[in-house]
Chain A
Amino acid sequence: MTTASVADAPGDALKTGNKPVRQSLIPGSNPKTFWIYLIPGLALLTLIIVVPLVWNIYLTFTDYRGIKPPEWVGLENWVKLAGDTTFWTSFGNSIAMIVAMVVVPTLLGLVLAAMLFDLIGKKFGGKIASFLRATYYLPQILPGVVAAIVIGWILRPQNGALNQVLENIGLGNLAHNWLGSPDTALPSIMVIMIWVQLGYPIVIFMAALQRVDPELYEAAELDGANWIQRFMAITVSIIRPEIFVVTLTCTIAALKVFGPIYTLTGGGPGTSTIVPAYYAYSEFFQSQQVGYGATIATALTIVIAAVSVVFLLAQTRLERKEEER
């Protein structure tokens, strides 16, 4: 690496003369010499991410309780995982989290962003629109656990705000131990996650909408397209890159969700709100089943990686189709 930096400008230019030019943006300096800037970043990455990741994969093939050294057991953990109903329940709950953190916020976010930008922003002024946008975004800035505590406080079984309100308006028989009973715990968490998540797509979509050329709308309006037709044909197709970014990042976040479950229900009652991240955590630190916890975490990683790859492939394919058209 250091020798390369000596052979700088002229020789390098000759060498790359007949090949497709591989050059840095700084004229006369070889890209190879820039490796030195990557050293601290890549060294830290190796130490903090790559080594633990590989180590973790190794642990999935061991029985390890944190005291005696890990004992090789082959695929035992993976076999156990495949037949573990708690694990499959946790992934089922992940789907509920995807509904609450991706599907609902993205769809609702699209409609609300278009509403704020197109109708309210244009007819009532940008100030009202950006004020409302900031309000919708508010839950996003909270630490996830604090957001959960805020809503958890409202849902308290004894003297919680929601139950008190229900009693005050004469619906006392609807009062409920919202987070403590198996039938309402998961829906309650979903409502919390929708509340937390909604502002993110709205802010991103509203920024994206600024790219839409108003003349397109006017032309469509002259052609007799109604608001919904214009919305589907113009808005959605133009801001599609942002829709992809939002769905992908939110899906990853939904699969990784941990804090609200930890603070509100601890996966319970029973396993009704357990998610893979929390399940792995409890195997690590409560049951001391490190090998099995590592297996759950690795399975989750594989799912996240697969989802990301599928998304990115779909996105490039769509983009290519668009270009061909």
Chain B
Amino acid sequence: MSTTITVREPAGPATPTGGPAAPARKKKNRSSTTRKTFGDWMILLVAILIGLLIAVPFFLILINSFKSPADYNAAGPLTLPTDLYFDGMVNFWERVNFPEKLWNSFFISSVVAILAVAISLLNAFALGIGRVRGRTWIVLLILLANMLPQEVLLYPLYFMFKTVGLYDNQWAVIIIFVVIQSAFGTYLLASVLGTFPKEILEAASLDGASRWTILYRVVYPITKPTLSVLIIFFFIWTWNEFLIPLTFLVSNASQTVPVSIAVLQGDRLMDVTTTSASALLGLLPTLIFFLIFQRTLTRGITAGAVK
């Protein structure tokens, strides 16, 4: 049974977003790379200037993270460091126990991403393929999780998790974000699965596959590209979350990267270049994800926008 399905796989809805469209587009662009007027160059200049303006803060943070405070005071923020100074970076790294925070963020975000995708897939299987009655309303109800200001949930959840002894426990944050992230995932996946090729499902059920088998052996492999985009989204969104981790992870050892950095900002011991170093350490992980997953992400943003 499974062989017939794997043969059909490539025909599924998996590919249309990325591959074949891109080269065609590029060719079109190249053919008209001809006449450039003065105005065109001016516009390019403006676009580059805006890009520089947006990038300047990153550049300032980068050069000043490796400066000693004395160097900063003497030469100002715009010069390159006279010699590389790592104390600010090291100070901050040790003060917050940065590897621990990295691990906390990584652990919470990965567990949330995986569980939220699983829940999204189950929900979307019932809504998109199962066509459960009243599905529009169910999707709307689920989307509520994404629209609500999190402050509304704060106190009741604080109380509930305190009662069951999960306050100041990373699993509290994980459970909350599984629900919040899977709301978006359900919304997106339900509409994707709503257009799932019927013939494939018919073939599978003629072969006697049960619904669980269809979910696991047919739907899951074919929607894998979308699921992987969702995983990356959920991971980064959870990584960047602030209010709920701030409220629920009060002890230093359980905090995430953004919380630990924000909490130290008012600290008098943070001199100007140490603060810069803390910002650099805070932005580096997401920057690395962005570089790794850039392609999948821009494709995913597009998919999300059209729905």
Contacts and interface: CB of A to CB of B under 8 A. Distances in A.
A320 interface: no
A49 B153 contact: yes
Interface residues of A, number: 105
A138 interface: yes
- Which residue among A38, A122, A124 has the maximum number of chain B CB atoms within 10 Å of its CB? A38
Interface residues of B, number: 108
A258 B242 contact: yes
- Chain A CB count within 10 A is highest, among B61, B148, B201, B236, for B148
Contacts of A176: none
A263 B265 contact: yes
B96 interface: no
A41 to B, nearest CB: 4
A274 B109 CA distance: 30
A199 B54 CA distance: 10
A175 interface: no
Contact of B151 (A51, A134, A195, A281): A281
Nearest to B29: A126
B196 A37 contact: no
Contacts of B257: 143
Nearest to A34: B130
A69 to B, nearest CB: 11
A263 B262 contact: yes
A34 B126 contact: yes
A38 B33 contact: no
A49 B73 contact: no
Interface string B72-89: 110011100000000000
A49 B1 CA distance: 41
A94 to B, nearest CB: 11
B interface: dominant SS? helix
Contact of B40 (A123, A255, A293, A297): A123
A142 B48 contact: no
A132 B52 CA distance: 9
A55 B156 CA distance: 7
Contacts of A37: 122-123, 125-126, 130, 215
Contacts of A115: 43, 46-47
A22 B131 contact: yes
B132 A53 contact: no
A1 B53 CA distance: 59
Interface stretch (A80-88, A156-164, A228-236): A156-164
A262 B129 CA distance: 43
Given A277-B149, A300-B149, A207 B133 contact: no
A180 to B, nearest CB: 13
Given A141-B236, A198-B54, A49 B29 contact: no
Contact of A195 (B54, B128, B144, B160): B54
Contacts of A23: 131
Interface in B104-147: 119-120, 122-123, 125-133, 138, 141-142, 144-145, 147
B167 interface: no
A36 B210 CA distance: 14
Nearest to A312: B140
Interface stretch (A71-79, A95-103, A144-152): A144-152
A136 B54 contact: yes
B169 to A, nearest CB: 15
Nearest to A211: B306
Contacts of B103: none
A145 B147 contact: no
A262 B242 contact: yes
A262 B262 contact: yes
A301 B152 contact: yes
B21 to A, nearest CB: 8
B39 to A, nearest CB: 9
A280 interface: yes
Q: Which 10 pairs of residues, A with B, have the shortest CB-CB distance? A: A34-B130, A52-B156, A161-B77, A146-B282, A207-B302, A143-B240, A37-B126, A297-B151, A55-B156, A143-B258
5 contacts: A44-B179, A144-B258, A147-B283, A161-B78, A262-B242
Interface of A: 22-29, 31-38, 40-42, 44-45, 47-49, 51-53, 55-56, 59, 112, 115-116, 119-126, 128, 132, 134-136, 138-139, 141-147, 149-154, 156, 159-161, 164-165, 168, 195, 198-199, 203-204, 207-208, 210, 214, 241-242, 245-246, 252, 255-256, 258-259, 262-263, 276-277, 280-281, 284-285, 290, 293-294, 296-298, 300-301, 304-305, 308
Interface of B: 21, 25-26, 28-30, 32-36, 40, 43-44, 46-48, 50-51, 54-55, 57-58, 60-61, 64, 72-73, 76-78, 119-120, 122-123, 125-133, 138, 141-142, 144-145, 147-157, 160, 175-176, 178-180, 182-183, 186, 196, 198, 201-202, 204-205, 211, 214-215, 236, 239-243, 246-247, 257-258, 261-262, 265, 272, 275-276, 278-279, 282-283, 286-287, 289-290, 294, 298, 301-302, 305-306
